[in-house]
A and B are shown apart, each in its own frame.
Chain A
Amino acid sequence: MATNLKTILLVDDNQLFLKMLSQAFKKSGIKCITAESGRHALEILSTTIPDAILSDYEMPDMNGMEFRQQLMDNSSFKDIPFVFLTYIIDNDLMLKGFDLEAVDYVIKDTPVNVIVSKLNNLIYTVQKQQELSKSEIKKAAEALNVKSIPTKSPDIKGFDVDFWHRPYQDIPGGDFIDFIQANERYTFIVLGDIMGKKWMAWFFTFSYLSYIRSAIRFCILNQDYSVGSILQKVNDVICLDDLLKDILSSLSLLMIDNETKAISYAGAGDLPLLYYQAKTSQLKQINGDGLLLGLFAGSVYTEQIITLADSDQLFVFTDGMIDFSDAGGNKSDYNSFSKKIENTLADNNSFDEIKKELFEPLLAVQVDDCSIINIRKTI
C-alpha cells in the first residue's frame, strides 16, 4: 500500500457522498481535498497537485467528461491518475472516458471500503511504476557513462581542491562540476546549476558542459586564457541554440595559474563566492557581475583576479547549499550559510570536517541539489 501520506482530490456535487468518502479515505491514511464542481476542482488544482483524482461523471455546469477534457488540455494536470465515479453503466460512455485516458471507472454502488482500496492500489501502482522508471533511467545513464559530476578532485601543485555534491532526493539534477587541466600551467574549475530540478535539468547539463568544454579548448588553442571571454563565448553560443531556449544556467568559472598562483574568476548569475583570509580569520564575498547563461546574447562577463595567501580558502557553491526547509516552509538564506562557514573555519576545521559537521546535516533539510567546491592555498 501507499507508504507516504498521499493526497486525493474528490470531485462530486453530492456533499453527503463527498463527506462519507473523504472520511473513509482519511481513515485509510489518505489526505482528501474535496470539490463540489469541476470548476472548483480546477481552482484547487491551481495551487495543489494531488496524487490522484476521483471525479463524479454527472455534475451540473461541467460534467465529469468535460472536466477530464480540461485536465487533458493542461500539461500540468493531464498525467494525474484519473478515475470516474458514476451510477451509469454505459459502454460507449466508458470507452469515451478511456479515450480521455481515464484509468478506471468505479460504480457508485460499490462499497466505500472497496472504492478506498481501489484508489489506494492505484496510487501505490503509479508510485511503483515511477520508481521503476527512475531506476531504469539511472541504469541507462550509468551504462552510457555520462557524468555531470567528476569522481575525483584534481591535483594542482600549491593548492588543495576538494568538492562535495549531493543530488536532491538521490535523483541526478541540474548541478554540474568539471575540472579541466588544460596543460601543466592552467586548470579550469567549473561549477554550474541548470535552473530546475531532477531529470529534466540533468539532461541539459550535458549540452551545457559540452559547450563549456569546447569554449575552453578553443580559447586555449587561441592562447586566450580569459575566463570572462570564455563565458561570453559560451553564452553567445547557448543563446543561438534553439534546443536550449528557456534553459538557463548559473556558472562559476575559475582558472588556476600554476605559475603565478593567481586564480581568475568570472561568474554568470552565480552566488557570490566566499573568500576566507586566514591571516585575519575573515570571510568576504566575491561578487561576479554576469547574468545567467542563456539569458541575453552579447552579455559581458568581467574577469577578476583573486590572489590567495597561504592557507586562504575559496568556497564556490550552488543555491542548494543556502536553501533549506523548516517548520515554516522552504527558505533561502545566503548570510546564515556564510556565517556557519565562518564559524566552522574559526575552529580550524579541514574541508573533510566541514563536510561532516556542516554539510552532511544539511541533507535532512535539503530542498535542491547541493554542490560546493573548496580551494585552499597550501603552504
Chain B
Amino acid sequence: MSERASAPPPASDPNTVPSVAARLALYQRAGGVITPLLTAFIAFLIGGLVVYATTGKDPVHTYKAIFKGTGLSWLSPVSIHWHLFYPAAIHWTGWDTTSPTALNLQQTLIVVTPLILTGLAVAFAFRCGLFNIGGNGQYTVGAIVAVQFGVWFAGLPGPLHVIVAMLAATLAGAAWGGIAGILKATTGAHEVITTIMLNWIALWVGSYLVGFNGPMQDPRAISAPVTRPIADSAHLHVFWGNPLLQGLHIGFFIAVAMLFVYWILLNRTTLGYEVRAVGFNAEAARYGGISVGRNFFLAMAISGAFAGLAGSIDILGWEFNLDLTVVQTVQVGFIGIAVALLGRNSAIGIFFSALLFGALLTGTSTRNLDPSVFQPQLAGNLTRIIQGLVVLFVGADLLIIYLWQARKKLRLPQRKTVEQA
C-alpha cells in the first residue's frame, strides 16, 4: 500500500478517477500553447523538406529569406551576427520607420488585419458548434457593399463616411452569414453546404457587378473590370508609413479591437453564454430554455459580420476599388479557417496565428522575397502547403498530443480513446 500518489490537484476529488476524456481535456489545456506551436513547427519542418526535395534549396536559407521579407525583424531593434552559436556582434539598429524592413512590416500587418477578422468569423461560429466555410463569401459581400458606399455619399465628412461604409459592409456580411444560420435553424440544412454555396453566389454576383458592363464597373475604365474608386473621404487613415506607398491604416487597430469584442461577447454577455452552451451541448441548452435555432442564426450572423468588416477594411484601407480578379481569387476567408484552427478559437491565439499566416503571405510574395534565394511563385505554394498542413494537424490534434506525450514518456503505449475509466 505504498502512498505513491503525489499531491493531488487541489480541485479534484482523490476518490474519482478522471475519465479519458477529462484527462485529454487536461492535456489540451496544459498543451494550450504547446500544441499549436508544435503544430506550426511540424508544418514548417515538412514544408522545409518539400523545399529541399523538390528544389534542392537549403530550407533554412529559404525560411530566412521569407522571414526577411515579412519585416518582422523590424520589431527587434538589434541586428545580431551569429558566429557559430555565439553572437559575434550585436548592433543597435534602432527603429527606422522608413527602412525597407519597416515597409515590409507595414505590408505584413495590412495582410494580417483581414485575417484576424476572418479568423474570428470562423472561430465565433465554431463556438456555437457551426463550421463557417463562408468567410470568403461574407468577405466579398462586405467588400462590394463597402465599395458602393465608398463611392456614394462622397460629400460626407471623413470619419462619418468611413463609419457608414463599414457599418453597411458589416451588416451585409451579417446578412450573408445569417442566411446560412436561418437555413440551419429552420430546415436543418448543414451550414457547411450552404456557406459554400453562398460563397459561389457571392463570387458570381460580385463578378457580374464588377465585371465588364456590370452595374458597378467604372464607366471611365472601359477596358478594365474594376469599380470606381471610393471617395477620399472614405479612406481609412494611414498612421504609419506613406499613404501613397500603401502605409499601415487604422483598420489594423479595428481588427485588434474586434479580438477584444470577440472575447467579451463570448465570456461576458448572455448571448455568448447561449452560444457556448449551444456549441457544447445543444440538447442541454434547449432543456435550459435556450432557443437553439435563434443562436444558430445569431452566431452565423455575427461571424458574417466579422468577415464583412474584413472586406470593408481592405477596400477602405488600401484597395480603394474592387477588381474582378480580387473577387474571383480572394482567399482570406479560407485562410481564416486555418487561423481559427491554429489559434484554437481564442482571441490571443487568433492574433498570433493571423500574424503567422499574414507574415507567410507577405514573406513569400513576389515583391518581398528575393528571387535569387527562392522563386516567389514556388514560395507562394509553400505557404499553401504549410496552411494545409496546419489544418491537417489541427484536425489530428490527438496525434500532436500523442507525440507530445511520447516525448515525455517514450515507452507509453498509445491508448485507445474510450469513454470508460
Same assembly: no
Q: Which residues of A contact B (CB under 8 A)?
A: none
Q: Which residues of B contact A (CB under 8 A)?
A: none
